[in-house]
Structure 1
């Protein structure tokens, strides 16, 4: 039964709980932020000159003349990402090679490249370009190249000295992705070898807003530079008491803010994932209609990676007068984008994080506490345009218990792909000088997996095989590379190219909260009785046969952007496969060949049905259920399945599931022992 929650005794809203929240004004604090909107009435050149980094131009260039490596900690909004590459271009540092600027996320590489091209009055692909996985917008004229760290790492496989570059700038280093950490070691080694071989030197610039500058400085043997940025004050409010239900805390805070702040102060809410975001968006819309919380309306927008591009862009558009914009987002809004008008941030204090369990050997997606650095990064979203306020649904004491920074990905990730890439470079990850050394068990598991995939001869003596070198040519996880290399043997190369392409993109389904039944009916037309992988294959085949793709995707509640991306990925994979001399064939209607081929790469993700209706994974022996989003969720339970990932929420769920015959396993991957040790009658 709904209860009443009173805010300051002045207004009443209906919420589904009796818990109360007390906000405590702790202090006015300065937060980091990135000021990206163009100043009113200013030209681009005038705007650039107002950036703090502009006054440090001469100092940065002078330091770079005398040092091969620069470590720059610059507050968000200082202009380091967009301006430093231009300083280097104008000072002729691109004379002996290209200036590379890496980003952890593809969306950042693309948007920043477009911004810098605009400032230089050129088009993307000319002087300024970008390269991300499966998309290259560069030419022989390109002198400033924005790219993801993964792309640059793949280039190092062909050229460990990275000869085409004169300067490499690793941006957003605080995110500590596996690729960034490995690149640090690769570039450091390339600098040394270029010097010994008397080749043109390679300069390295590492930039970030919140990195551990002492840790980086010790590793690189350099001193750090601090670049003061342009900031607005952010008032920080914490709850006085622990909130067991942060969703409820966020909901109540939204209406407190709506009642007490000016209508032009838009709100940004951080939650962990799509499901939470859609639930809260629906609750806010309903409560805004039910309760008299003010004369002004609210417009609620959602933002997460699986959302269609058109829907993602809606949150950047202006709303009508006397209307407050409320944006509910995942951590995608922490650093990569700027939403104009945001003056209030509500932070739930959690994030969904994928980690690898060396004990179970599985990738697990779970909700965890953010770090202090992430908390300040989120707070800073309220101070990008003007002074703002951050409302935290956790206490000051709870924040003190947070880790200072997020655990580096290399310490919690599955290292199979990274290990193969390093082996292709002739590097044993155990001997490589990394910023932080990964878990020994994780390395051991990576070698074992690569041995089972046929990429190395032995886990004890990890020498890469000819098959492993072929696998390293694909910009894919090794298990998906193995699927493509195995497909010709099973007679399903055409189908596997399509399936791997779709699996490489984000969610292709669109499920509007107000049209869930219609979307479910539309998706049911493509359903395969064998599971999600073949359902995705059915969708892609129909998409390729359709002429009016936009209308077809709209009618079938499918994401056209992601399907077009999958088509482009398939073209790239086809090109690589052709260069490698792979034969092309099709299994037609005999889709058993596809399911058998899946075992060659995903043998570690097999689960067997138990008597109680749950599944037991053969790797790690975890008990789990099929995720509700799967087409196999329901009364029919296959005896044996392959899954893409295991999600840990309140319990374990298997996502992207397909039925296989347990008798196939011993034939396809004989090194996997007989499944009889798992008692199906248990």
Structure 2
């Protein structure tokens, strides 16, 4: 169990805070950001804008809202590029703070939200914060804003960064924290330089990495005859358009899953370009596993893409049912970051 964190001095620019009843903030000691929380708190306290550059696994997404709470911030907006990330991170932060979702921590995404009168941290998509500008040009509803995954540089993120640059002089009490991967955080620091041209401070946090083994499994084997192939769009041609030894993508996925299954029961994450490919692969894998009898029955296939309902997406994060020893998650790029 982690020890209670030392409470940093309150931010002088923050309004008088009303701490949540029974709120005890803990920082998991195995997260690299926990080791830098005093430095991050000091930078936020002394600057209007702070850039936190952290590698994957550093813990910046879940721990930064807690640092802001300790500094006395009452209305924190925390943006994510994707809806599924906003929901799942809200659940995780609420769990770490010992709060029910919709209480101290809530979320807002398109078509649904779970916030209450006592909510102090609101996870939301970038688009929700952008839409809030229509009725709240000064963003008075918030006294701190976290723009997470800013390195993705979507049109919405870029617009928000440009707008916030103009807004900050009119809201001197507003705190802005921008998180980015370690790719060029200096560009954000320069963009938010102060009136004297001094760039915003950058706090760098290491990530947690694990050994990665790369196995190359081409769909067209090396050495296959590719000289005498025909154009698949040429109706007059009767020759093959792919080498005879080639396999399609779904066959390749099944072969890879079987290969990994022979080595252990670890879960598998497969990335696809879209929903249709996931549906086809899920059908093929389910049929393949059914033909394996009892061995295949211990594997669960779970799709994960943006158009699934929240309940269906949440299955990926729930504990596996009894008898399931391995999960195969078929995902679009919604699983690339933050999850």
TM over 0.5: yes
Match of 1:279 in 2: 280
Q: How many residues align?
A: 286
Q: Which stretch has the larger CA shift, 48-57 or 284-293?
A: 284-293
Deviation sequence 1:108-150 (CA, Å, 0-9, x none): 2233223222322333343333233343433443322222222
Offset of residue 58 of structure 1: 0.9
User: What aligned pairs does 1:154-553 form with structure 2 within 5 A after superposition?
Assistant: 154-194=131-171, 200-209=172-181, 211-221=183-193, 222=199, 223-239=201-217, 245-259=248-262, 261-262=263-264, 264-288=265-289, 290=291, 297-315=298-316, 316-321=318-323, 323-337=325-339
Q: Deviations over 1:187-223 (max 9, x none)?
A: 11111234xxxxx422211013354323333333435
Question: Is residue 2:73 matched to residue 1:83?
Answer: no
Instruction: State the SS of the aligned residue for 1:70.
Output: strand
Q: What do the CA deviations read for 1:262-287 (whole angstroms, capped 9, x no partner)?
A: 1x212111112232222223323333
In structure 2, list runs of 5 or more residues that go unmatched. 3-23, 194-198, 222-245
* Separation in structure 2 between the aligned mates of residue 290 and residue 141 of structure 1, nearest angstrom: 52
The root-mean-square deviation of aligned C-alpha atoms, in Å, is: 3.2
Corresponding residue number in structure 2 for 1:100? 77
Q: Measured at CA, do residues 297 and 55 of structure 1 come closer, stay the same or move farther in structure 2, by a change above 3 Å?
A: closer
Q: Do the aligned partners of residues 85 and 321 (structure 1) sit closer, same or farther apart at CA in structure 2, a change above 3 Å counting?
A: same
User: Matched residues in 1 for 2:163 and 2:330: separation?
Assistant: 38
Q: Are the equivalent residues in 1 in contact too, given 2:61–2:338 (CA < 8 A)?
A: no
Q: What SS class does the counterpart of residue 133 from structure 2 fall into?
A: helix
Structure-2 residue corresponding to 1:50: 30
Are 1:69 and 1:204, in contact at CA under 8 Å, matched by a contact in 2?
yes
Q: How far apart are residue 83 of structure 1 and its match?
A: 1.4
Task: Describe the shift of the 1:332–1:67 C-alpha distance in structure 2 as closer, same or farther (beyond 3 A).
Answer: same
Greater share of helix residues, 1 or 2? 1
From the two aligned structures, give the one with the greater strand fraction.
1
The structure-2 alpha-carbon separation of the partners of 1:234 and 1:144, relative to structure 1 and needing over 3 Å to count, comes to same
Matches of 1:289 and 1:142 in 2, distance apart?
Answer: 46
CA distance in 1, matches of 2:165, 2:285: 51
Per the normalisation by structure 2, the TM-score is 0.72
2: distance between equivalents of 1:282 and 1:111? 26
1:310 and 1:66 mapped to 2: Cα distance?
A: 42
- Tell me if structure 2 keeps the 8 A contact 1:173–1:211: no
Query: What's the TM-score, normalizing by structure 1?
Result: 0.38
Q: 1:237 to 1:45 in 2, by over 3 A?
A: farther
Q: Larger C-alpha radius of gyration, 1 or 2?
A: 1
Structure 1's 133 and 290: CA in aligned 2 closer, same or farther, altered over 3 A? closer
Cα distance, 1:240–1:269 mapped onto 2, change above 3 Å: closer
CA-CA distance at 1:328 after TM superposition? 1.8
Q: Distance in 2 between matches of 1:127 and 1:289?
A: 44
Asked if the contact 2:289/2:296 (under 8 Å) is kept, the reply is no
* Map 1:585-624 → 2, pairs under 5 A: none
